């Protein structure tokens, strides 16, 4: 019988280092370095989430685990050997950058493989019934990484690697990946775009990152036609629009697909305080979406649900978003009350704007109700 909620993390993942950037701009003649230095994808958002869980006592209610790094064989199911060899060579030589906004230091290859390993072990533990559900605090993230090209802070495709390993072990057949990171999950989409055994759903700020992907018309290809859903939301969509999009598009798609497991690419960069988005989500937004997806998992796949950490760049606010999600996963009575809840409630779109956003969601829902092509 499945027991409790797992939380997979490893201190070494916090040691992944970025390069000479100011947010997403390479430091140069006209770009002054930030006081904190490097990319916004820093270890502190993740470390402070774990610290907050320790302080509130939530950690004590979880099954805290690490995991072995993903093996070369696991990585090779998703990434071609020439890419992996180049990544390892640059990593061994002291680090560098082989993609777009994906700098890493010496040992970056091993840390990225460990990040993928955390996701892989979380999926395995839930798929086998060892745990009811799980959260993997993976870092570096993975949902932008293409098979042969790291991208957008993502060095390896963590969730895809985890899915392929579970499939190789005969643990899963049909999987849904729901990506609520504020940026389009282009890497995950690309990996499974021509397959129907993985339904990929990305709910993101329209044309935030990447600028040229995530359109509603991108529905998959060949056997995968209809197994890819993009939900591009306008800037400022806010709490109610996220929940409405879940109700009108995501949950019906899950019911129609009937997965063996649901995996969430769990970014917290749709929050109102994130430097890389303009979406006005709050900690309660993520809490309510977690409730929605847990109910779906209970009805469709015996509660088999794994969340894998992706983006989120507000060091002060990500911990409250993550804590809210993990409270729900663990059915815990412990709370880390959101200190910005009242202010964010006031800053939500007014009723007229929300009504307009709802019409956009309704139009998208009609599109997805029709066969693609």
Residue 158 main-chain phi, psi, to 5 deg: -55, -50
Neighbours of 170 (CB within 10 A): 8
**Residues 6 or more apart whose Cβ sits within 8 Å of residue 356:** none
Quickly list DSSP for 80-97.
-HHHHHHHHHHHHTTEE-
* Residue 338 neighbours by CB distance under 10 Å: 18
Task: For helices 283-301 and 238-245, give the axis angle rounded to 10 degrees.
Answer: 10
The set of long-range contacts for 350-354, using a CB threshold of 8 Å and a minimum separation of 24, is 353/236, 354/238, 354/240, 354/241
State how far the Cα of 27 lies from the Cα of 251, in Å rounded to an integer.
43
* Alpha-carbon span 196 to 192, nearest angstrom: 8
Catalytic residue among 16, 79, 143, 144: 144
- Distance from the Cα of residue 23 to its chain's centroid: 19
Write down the number of H helices and E strands in the chain: 12, 12
Confirm whether 144 is a catalytic residue: yes
Active site residues per annotation: 144
């Amino acid at each position: 019988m499945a027991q409790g909620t797992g939380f997979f993390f490893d201190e070494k993942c916090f040691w992944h280092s970025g390069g000479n950037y100011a947010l997403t701009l390479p430091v140069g003649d006209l770009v002054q370095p930030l006081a904190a230095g490097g990319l916004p994808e820093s270890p502190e958002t993740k470390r402070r989430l774990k610290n907050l869980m320790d302080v509130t006592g939530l950690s004590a209610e979880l099954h805290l685990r690490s995991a072995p790094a993903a093996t070369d064989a696991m990585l090779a199911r998703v990434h071609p050997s020439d890419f992996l060899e180049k990544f390892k060579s640059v990593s061994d030589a002291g680090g560098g950058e082989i993609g777009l906004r994906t700098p890493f230091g010496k040992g970056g290859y091993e840390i990225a493989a460990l990040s993928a390993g955390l996701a892989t072990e979380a999926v395995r533990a839930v798929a086998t019934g060892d745990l009811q559900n799980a959260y993997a605090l993976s870092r570096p993230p993975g949902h932008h990484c293409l098979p042969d090209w790291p991208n957008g802070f993502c060095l390896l495709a963590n969730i895809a690697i985890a899915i392929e390993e579970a499939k190789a072990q005969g643990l899963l057949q049909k999987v849904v990946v729901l990506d609520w990171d504020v940026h389009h999950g282009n890497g995950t989409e690309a990996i499974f775009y021509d397959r129907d055994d993985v339904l990929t759903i990305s709910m993101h700020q329209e044309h935030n990152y990447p600028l040229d992907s995530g359109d509603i018309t991108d529905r998959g290809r060949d056997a995968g036609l209809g197994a890819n859903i993009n939900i591009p939301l306008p800037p400022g969509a806010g709490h109610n629009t996220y929940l409405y999009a879940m109700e009108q598009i995501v949950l019906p798609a899950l019911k129609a697909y009937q997965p063996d497991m649901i995996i969430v690419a769990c970014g917290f960069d749709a929050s109102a305080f994130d430097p890389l988005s303009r979406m006005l989500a709050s900690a309660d937004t993520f809490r309510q979406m977690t409730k929605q997806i847990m109910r779906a998992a209970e009805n469709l796949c015996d509660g088999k649900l794994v969340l894998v950490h992706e983006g989120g760049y507000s060091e002060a606010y990500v911990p409250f978003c993550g804590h809210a999600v993990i409270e729900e996963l663990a059915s815990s009575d412990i709370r880390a009350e959101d200190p910005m809840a009242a202010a964010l409630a006031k800053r939500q779109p007014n009723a007229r704007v929300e009504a307009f956003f709802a019409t956009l969601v309704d139009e998208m829902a009609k599109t997805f109700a029709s066969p693609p092509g």
